[in-house]
Amino acid sequence: MPVPSGLSSNLRMRPRYGFTLIELLVVIAIIGILAGILFPAATSAMNSAKATIAKNQAVQIASALTAYETEYGHLPPSSGSPSQIDAAMVGILCSSGDTNNPRGIIFLDATTWKKGKGGTNSSGYCDPFSATSVYMVALDTGYSNSISVPTQPTPGAALGPDTNITKRIGVWTVFTNGTQVKMVNSWD
């Protein structure tokens, strides 16, 4: 029996658009699983980037100290061996108004500390990992062409014993990545 023309449009199947709640929940679950898989990789990549920044900054500090020595014929005064790149040394290397830098040469261009970037603050020149982790420096002020620096820690341990290297300047920082203690230095 034929359907009257007014009713035929209501009985036809209309195409369905959109997602059901189940489909939406499945997609959200898949995205959550992928994010969970990628998060450790992203964290590892971020730490690797910070380590690269720290290595670059350690080399820049060592270069600034070498430039200071070339300009003035001696290394800048330090508070001992090893010492921190503290506010006084940052003042010598970064400003033109310090009495230990009478020519006003800016040897190190440093910015204010930012998370993941490093820089200077009231503690000194800090690495990109922490605002309280100040770079350390060993200077050969006795001109023996040998400095004492810590060795790379073994996995899960603190820094190794000091060793002598044949360098005039050594700069390093130590950071903790979970349970691992790592050292980034200027002499590798």
Where are the chain's structural domains?
20-185
Residue among 93, 104, 97, 102 nearest 65 (CA): 93
pLDDT value of residue 4: 57
pLDDT digits (tens, 9 = 90+) for 5-56: 555 555 567 677 777 899 999 999 999 999 888 888 888 888 889 999 999 9
Residue 60 has pLDDT above 90, yes or no: yes
pLDDT of residue 30: 95
Q: What is the pLDDT of residues 126-173, one digit of tens each?
A: 999 888 888 999 888 888 888 888 887 776 666 777 888 898 899 999
pLDDT of res. 80: 63
Both tokens of residue 54?
């720290």
SS3 category, 1: coil
- pLDDT score of 1: 55
Between CA 52 and CA 63 the distance in angstroms is: 17
Contact by Cβ (8 Å): 78, 135: no
For residue 51, what are the CA distances in angstroms to 86, 153, 155? Answer: 20, 15, 17
Interatomic CA distance for residues 163 and 160, integer angstroms: 9
**Residue 188 predicted with pLDDT over 90:** no
Predicted structure pTM score: 0.77
For residue 111, the Cα-to-chain-centroid distance in whole angstroms is: 14
Alpha helices in 12-162 (DSSP H): 21-72, 87-94
